[in-house]
Structure 1
Amino acid sequence: MDKFNFVRNGMIRLPPGFRFQPTDEELVFQYLRCKVFSCPLPASIIPEINVCLYDPWDLPGDLEQERYFFSNKESKYPNGNRTNRVTSSGYWKATGSDKKIVSPRRNNIVGKKKSLVFYRGKAPTGSKTDWVMHEYSLVNNTGPTASSTENSINQKGSWVLCRIFLKKRSCQKDEDILLNYDSCKVKNTEKGQLQITSTSPVSSSSSCSSCSGITEVLSSHEGGDDEEISGCTKF
């Protein structure tokens, strides 16, 4: 029996002031390896749940925090090796290359981390969301060093450890979209100076490209009437 058990009704409940922030190596060596070989865990802090039976927002725990689960991988086909990652509302899609988790003592690959993104709908036309999952698995490595090929790395056991979190959106993209809608009005004043006004604030680093490079005002004749130019002047 594990010495510490902080899981209540499938949710992690730590004492006040404690935070569970393990590294990749700690998740593989201290938790997943013990789970695969049925050894005592450092603490019963990670619940067991089939993550693909739930949408990410329906999994137990605080949606604003990282959540950790032990899960069993299910095959997509009876005689195949592909993993079933389909939920009721969408599916998890792998992205990027797997990260190798290397033993610091023997310099062997003992685990790997796979990154996945959740899509709503059915593949391959689903819509991408901000939900991310890191899936950790223990592997068999037949090669002597960490430079072994992917063909020599196979998952050991059916247990995986999943870290699921909601990726925070960057506000910079929204600001760039607003800047694209800026409209410039240029007025030729009596003193021959340019006065530029905009309907929305424009940052100094991202000004309207068609308004840059204005150095002088050309008039049809001296002392002519004031002219108002709507839009941005191009040269």
Structure 2
Amino acid sequence: MAKFNFVRDGAMRLPPGFRFQPTDEELVFRYLKCKVFSFPLPASIIPDVNLCKYDPWDLPGELEQERYFFSSKEAKYRNGNRINRATVSGYWKATGSDRQISSPRKNQMVGMKKTLVFYKGKPPHGFRTSWVMHEYRLVNTYPYHNHNLTQNVLSEMEKWVICHVYMRKRSSSDQNDDGDHVGANQGYKNYNAEMGQLKFFDFVVRDGEKIGTSSGPNCSSSSSSNSSGITAASSSESDDLEESSAF
């Protein structure tokens, strides 16, 4: 049976009406596993790209679409095990905990999913962007009796990953993956500005009902001795109120 090739010029090109939306299990079992063990792929639809050589906006394919790539992991140092995640303009930073991917039939873990966010600049002073990447890798759960075959398989498992890259749409109420709230500094400034203003709430009995009226520092308001006030003020302002009430 012929396998169709949907990769052209290093990017995925599907016919109109077709969408590539694989699940995590399908990416690991149908594509990455076949890549590592040199089995035929369901379709030539995921290109081989070294992600360290590209910024996310320069990767092959359309920016508005979710893109998938086979990528070989590159060591950061010649004599080390750390993975190089730096690109031309920034770096990928892992966030959260890795998620286990199990076989739907045998209920056995054979893969892991790591979430990374792209930061522009140099660590640790880079600033966060909306680019997100899910990295899928296989784990060693395959027993082999042939020692040479095991070493070859292990080297391929450690080499290849599938990367799912996309740009996340964010709003001011969204929360970042690493727990940092979007626009936290601006929210802190707004909070301080609001705390610096006095607001008085007077409850007056009118026709058997309590009606609340509010006034600020720029508004003129009168309150009777029978009305109760709820005041938000600083410590120095509360001392002035206590001093005036003593008279």
Q: Same fold (TM over 0.5)?
A: yes
Partner of 1:157: 158
Change (3 A) 1:108 1:88: same
Partner of 1:199: none
Q: Unpaired segments of 5 or more residues in structure 1? A: 144-153, 185-208, 218-226
8 A contact 1:138–1:155 mirrored in 2: no
Aligned-CA RMSD value: 3.6
1:90 equivalent to 2:90? Answer yes
Q: Distance in 2 between matches of 1:131 and 1:106?
A: 34
8 A contact 1:36–1:157 mirrored in 2: no
Q: Distance in 2 between matches of 1:4 and 1:232?
A: 77
1:24 equivalent to 2:12? Answer no
Alignment of 1:71-220 (within 5 A): 71-141=71-141, 156-172=157-173, 180=190, 211=199, 213-216=201-204
Change (3 A) 1:51 1:231: farther
8 A contact 2:54–2:87 mirrored in 1: yes
TM-score (normalised: structure 1): 0.71
TM-score (normalised: structure 2): 0.68
Alignment of 1:33-72 (within 5 A): 33-72=33-72
Q: Distance in 2 between matches of 1:74 and 1:210?
A: 58
Q: Distance in 2 between matches of 1:42 and 1:129?
A: 33
Deviation at 1:81, TM superposition (A): 1.3
Partner of 1:9: 9
**Larger fraction in helix:** 2
8 A contact 1:2–1:41 mirrored in 2: no
Match of 1:113, as an amino acid? K
Deviation at 1:51, TM superposition (A): 0.8
Match of 1:130, as an amino acid? S
Deviation at 1:172, TM superposition (A): 3.9
Deviation at 1:106, TM superposition (A): 2.2
Deviation at 1:73, TM superposition (A): 0.1
Q: Unpaired segments of 5 or more residues in structure 2? A: 144-154, 175-181, 206-214, 222-229, 232-247
Identity %: 61
Instruction: Tell me the alpha carbon deviations over residues 89-129 of structure 1, each in whole angstroms, 9 at most, x when there is no partner.
Output: 01001111100111122222111000001111111111111
Deviation at 1:214, TM superposition (A): 3.9
Match of 2:203, as an amino acid? T
Q: Distance in 1 between matches of 2:4 and 2:157?
A: 26
Moved over 3 A (4+): 171-178, 209-214, 231-234
Change (3 A) 1:232 1:32: farther
Q: Distance in 2 between matches of 1:231 and 1:52?
A: 60
Partner of 1:204: none
1:230 equivalent to 2:218? Answer yes
Q: Distance in 1 between matches of 2:71 and 2:183?
A: 40
8 A contact 1:7–1:44 mirrored in 2: yes
How many residues are paired up? 193
SS in 1 for 2:158: strand
Q: Distance in 2 between matches of 1:158 and 1:51?
A: 13
Deviation at 1:231, TM superposition (A): 5.7
SS in 2 for 1:156: helix
SS in 1 for 2:140: strand
Q: Distance in 2 between matches of 1:136 and 1:8?
A: 23
